[in-house]
Amino acid sequence: MNFGTIKDILAEQLVDSQLKKDKKGKELYKNFIKEMKNDKVLKSQFIVYKNIENKSIKSESEASEYLKENIEILKKIGTNKILESNVKLSKLLKKVNPTILKEYKEKDIHLAIHNLITKEKDANNLNLMHESFQKVKKWLMEEKSIEGGSDDSIVENVDPKKFLEIVTKKYNEKYSELTEEEKTILKVLRNGNKEEIKTLVSEMVKNTISVINENIKKYEDNLDVKERLLETKDVVYSMVENDDSFSDNLMKLYELKRNLRDDS
């Protein structure tokens, strides 16, 4: 399993634990941070994957050079050491859920990076290495924006019933009325207007990021909490790009922001 996929699974476990008030995910991520601090190979992978995932470069030649420099950092470490460190992280995940690695769909960008850092170019895999390099280079040249996800298909899976269940339960158990935000969300989902839903999702991402930033300032001196919040921030950004589970992500954004507000 490649490092990028493992990192994403760990971060999502952290978000889920925040939503469910479950200590397992938080403890898992705490162990991940501990392993990364003590393992230079993991730390180097973390930096390189983050460099590539977040960087935007307009020039094709500069993108190629930047990619080569990052891949070279991990090539010097060696394939065996990289795979050994990844196995160490995989074992952490399997302690919580033995089948989680099989259930998770790996992203193409992570597979391409993994190919570049673990495989040696030869006659048998020349096409694979070329395709992987081109794929990652193309990724680097794309604009990284939370406004992403312009494909109309991202609104097809929005489930207002699921949201209604959440706010109705909240209403019955604790509150005398829905908040203005909840009323707005229900109204937009009921109308079913694609442009309104896109705007709603974009605003929810922006607002959630804002709340996370507030918590980062609040816990500035607590490195463990700060690192977990930074990873949570990355997950929130990536939710816009994950069209396959859009309705789940919509609910996670709503619940995450509310829980972060409650903890503030």
What's at 54, amino acid-wise? N
Residue pLDDT tens, the chain, 264 long:
889 988 888 877 776 766 566 677 777 877 888 888 888 899 899 889 988 988 889 999 999 999 999 999 999 999 999 999 999 988 888 887 788 778 788 889 999 999 999 998 888 889 999 999 999 999 999 986 543 333 333 334 444 454 555 555 544 544 445 677 777 776 666 666 667 766 777 788 888 888 888 888 888 888 777 777 877 877 777 666 555 455 556 667 777 777 777 665
**CB neighbour list of residue 213: distance below 8 Å, 6 or more residues apart:** 233
In 3D, which of 174, 173, 168, 172 has the Cα closest to residue 185? 168
Query: Could you tell me the end-to-end alpha-carbon distance of the chain, in angstroms, rounded to an integer?
Result: 36
- Please, are residues 74 and 82 in contact by the beta-carbon 8 Å criterion? yes
- H helix intervals, 39-78: 40-54, 60-77
Helix (H) or strand (E) holding 200: helix 194-218
- Please, are residues 230 and 206 in contact by the beta-carbon 8 Å criterion? no
Which 3 state secondary structure label does DSSP give 88? Answer: helix
pTM of the full structure: 0.57
